[in-house]
């Protein structure tokens, strides 16, 4: 009962958060490039709770749209073009929730304008863009360097930290990452279904690959198989709307990914966004007198990694078998120990720092970004540039294995890189 009450209270607070934070004198002024659907949830709502963040400007291709967006969200400045916003010297940082195919160009332009950048996932269209962006001379190790973060928000929520705490990474035998979005969510003209905007299910739900990389704490060695479902003409035939695949990881373990942007409701109900891990069998006890050994297989699942702030569950299941040594078939005893855990605050995972039960992953992500910009240590959770490059490499490997073209590389280059 108390957990039902907790769920209701948390979700009530998510939709009507208690108390907007008064802003600090040195608050960072953020601009948003594009009046995108995700911006209110991913940045505007968490910013309201952050004393050091002001959403100060928005730019959209259509001024009326930008004005309506600004009015709705009490944003002071409206710009007619994304570049005009970047030219404003009072803006410290930008959020880029543009279609994937425009991330690279506008992130580079923003960095060139000396803005910090929160860049929506997937940060780039492919590895070529990833290397050019994250190894850009505009990013240096000096304190004056702008900060660039790929918005893999789920990594910042305490539930993900809790999940990782249950794993014994070198001994993972198998992992599965599933992300299935119902077909009713996006219309066929959505940015996700356009090849020239770097659409595709493996791009949009690339969380599955990010999750597998996070679980193994390593990069996939090879894609063993990847199969996709593609649209047929007159829709964009270069776009995958669903996929599944198998990966080999350096410890010998296998990773499986399942993703869809066109899933039926029944499928989604059974499995929406879940990360599952099966460890290798481990001997936990030996009784030499009886000639017996006890082995354990640990299975861990994080249910709802994508929206963990609303609800999640970390199921830890330990399967024990006591058996005769040297005769695996002869089972003496079998039992299972199960535990369900949850983590909504930093305290729940033993990390110091302010946090609230109702904070979504986006708020934790924003905190990390602000800490980094302000030169503070923060919680230590971060998505590094190298991490983002490796993520792009894995997505490329997936498209290659599926026999599909890589998402198109932007022709935009910085003046310094044109030579
Ligand atoms: N972190 C998360 O949880 C989520 C992340 N995302 C990511 O955010 C990004 C945006 O997604 P979403 O908000 O759903 O998308 P929207 O279609 O709502 O927003 C995309 C924005 O891009 C701008 N735009 C610029 N050029 C084009 C173009 N040629 N065609 C279409 N739009 C264009 C539009 O801005 P304008 O206002 O100027 O017209 C539009 O507002 C994607 O990269 C997606 O992967 C999406 C959802 C969740
Ligand atoms: O979190 C998400 O869920 C739905 C997707 O289509 C979206 O782009 C993604 O970031």
Give distance in angstroms: CA of 69 to centre of ligand 1. 14
Give distance in angstroms: CA of 205 to centre of ligand 2. 6
ipTM of the complex model: 0.98
Atom 7 of ligand 1, residue of closest alpha carbon: 120
313 φ, ψ (degrees, to nearest 5): -150, 135
Q: In the chain, where are the structural domains located?
A: 18-152+403-418, 158-282+302-308+310-315+334-343
Pairing of strands 77-79, 93-96: unpaired
State the CATH architecture for 158-282+302-308+310-315+334-343.
2-Layer Sandwich (3.30)
| 18-152+403-418: CATH topology | Rossmann fold (3.40.50)
Q: Which two tokens stand for residue 169?
A: 């990474």
Report d(CA 216, CA 211) in Å as an integer: 9
E strands along 121-272, which residues? Answer: 148-150, 172-182, 222-230, 240-248, 254-263
Give distance in angstroms: CA of 131 to centre of ligand 2. 24
Q: What is the pTM of this model?
A: 0.96
Q: Is 37 in the pocket of ligand 1 (CB under 6 A)?
A: yes
Give distance in angstroms: CA of 313 to centre of ligand 2. 20
Q: Which two tokens stand for residue 339?
A: 């535990």
3-state SS assignment for residue 39: helix
Q: Is 75 in the pocket of ligand 2 (CB under 6 A)?
A: no
Pairing of strands 77-79, 148-150: unpaired
What number does the ligand 1 atom closest to the CA of 152 have?
Answer: 1
For residue 331, CA distances in Å to 293, 334, 383 come to: 10, 7, 45
Tell me, yes or no, if 121 is annotated catalytic.
Answer: yes
Q: Is 2 left (phi over 0), alpha (psi -120 to 50) or beta?
A: alpha
Q: Is 204 in the pocket of ligand 2 (CB under 6 A)?
A: yes
Give distance in angstroms: CA of 35 to centre of ligand 1. 8
Among residues 77, 109, 115, 121, which one is catalytic?
121
Ligand nearest to the CA of 38: 1
**CA of residue 304 relative to chain centroid, distance:** 12
What number does the ligand 1 atom closest to the CA of 153 have?
Answer: 1
Pairing of strands 240-248, 254-263: antiparallel
Atom 6 of ligand 2, residue of closest alpha carbon: 204
For residue 406, CA distances in Å to 177, 195, 238, 270, 368 come to: 22, 10, 10, 31, 31
Q: What is the pLDDT along the chain (419 residues), one digit of tens a residue?
A: 458 888 888 888 888 888 788 999 999 999 999 999 999 999 999 999 999 999 999 999 999 999 999 999 999 999 999 999 999 999 999 999 999 999 999 999 999 999 999 999 999 999 999 999 999 999 998 989 999 999 999 999 999 999 999 999 999 999 999 999 999 999 999 999 999 999 999 999 999 999 999 999 999 999 999 999 999 999 999 999 999 999 999 999 999 999 999 999 999 999 999 999 999 999 999 999 999 999 999 999 999 999 999 999 999 999 999 999 987 679 999 999 999 999 999 999 999 999 999 999 999 999 999 999 999 999 999 999 999 999 999 999 999 999 999 999 999 998 766 65
Atom 24 of ligand 1, residue of closest alpha carbon: 98
Sheet hosting strand 93-96, strand order edge to edge:
77-79, 53-59, 28-33, 93-96, 116-119, 148-150
Q: What is the DSSP string of 116-149?
A: EEEEPSS-SSSHHHHHHHHT-TT--SSTTSPPEE
């Amino acid at each position: 009962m108390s957990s039902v009450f907790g769920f209701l209270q948390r979700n009530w607070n998510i939709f009507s958060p208690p108390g907007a934070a008064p802003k600090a004198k040195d608050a960072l002024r953020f601009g948003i490039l594009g009046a995108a659907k995700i911006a209110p949830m991913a940045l505007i709502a968490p910013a309201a709770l952050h004393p050091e963040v002001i959403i100060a400007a928005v730019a959209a291709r259509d001024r009326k749209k930008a004005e309506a967006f600004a009015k709705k969200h009490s944003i002071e400045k409206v710009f007619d073009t994304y570049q005009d916003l970047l030219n404003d010297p009072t803006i410290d940082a930008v959020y880029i929730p543009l279609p994937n195919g425009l991330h690279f160009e506008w992130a580079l332009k923003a960095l060139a304008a000396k803005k910090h950048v929160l860049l929506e996932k997937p940060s780039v269209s492919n590895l070529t863009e990833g290397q050019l962006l994250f190894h850009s001379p505009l990013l240096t190790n000096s304190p004056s360097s702008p900060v660039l973060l790929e918005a893999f928000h789920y990594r910042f929520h305490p539930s993900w930290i809790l999940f990782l705490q249950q794993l014994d990474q070198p001994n993972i035998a198998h992992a599965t990452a599933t992300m299935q979005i119902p077909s009713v969510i996006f219309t066929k003209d959505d940015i996700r279904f356009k090849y020239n905007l770097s659409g595709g299910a493996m791009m949009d739900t690339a969380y599955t690959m990010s999750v597998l990389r996070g679980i193994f704490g390593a990069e996939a060695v090879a894609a063993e198989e990847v199969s996709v479902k593609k649209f047929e003409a007159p829709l964009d035939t270069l776009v995958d709307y669903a996929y599944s695949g198998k990966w080999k990881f350096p410890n010998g373990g296998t990773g499986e990914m399942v993703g869809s942007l066109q899933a039926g409701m029944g499928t989604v109900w059974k499995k929406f966004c879940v990360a599952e891990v099966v460890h290798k069998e481990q001997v936990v006890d030996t009784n030499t007198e009886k000639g017996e050994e006890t082995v354990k297989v640990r299975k861990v699942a994080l249910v709802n990694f994508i929206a963990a702030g609303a609800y999640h569950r970390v199921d830890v299941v330990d399967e024990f078998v006591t058996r005769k040594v040297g005769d695996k078939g002869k089972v003496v005893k079998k039992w299972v120990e199960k535990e369900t855990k949850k983590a909504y605050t930093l305290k729940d995972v033993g990390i110091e720092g302010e946090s609230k039960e109702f904070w979504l992953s986006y708020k934790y992500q924003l905190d990390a970004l602000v800490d980094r910009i302000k030169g503070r240590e923060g919680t230590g959770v971060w998505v590094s540039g190298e991490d983002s490059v490796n993520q792009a490499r894995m997505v490329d490997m997936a498209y290659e294995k599926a026999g599909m073209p890589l998402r198109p590389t932007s022709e935009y280059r910085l003046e310094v890189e044109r030579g």
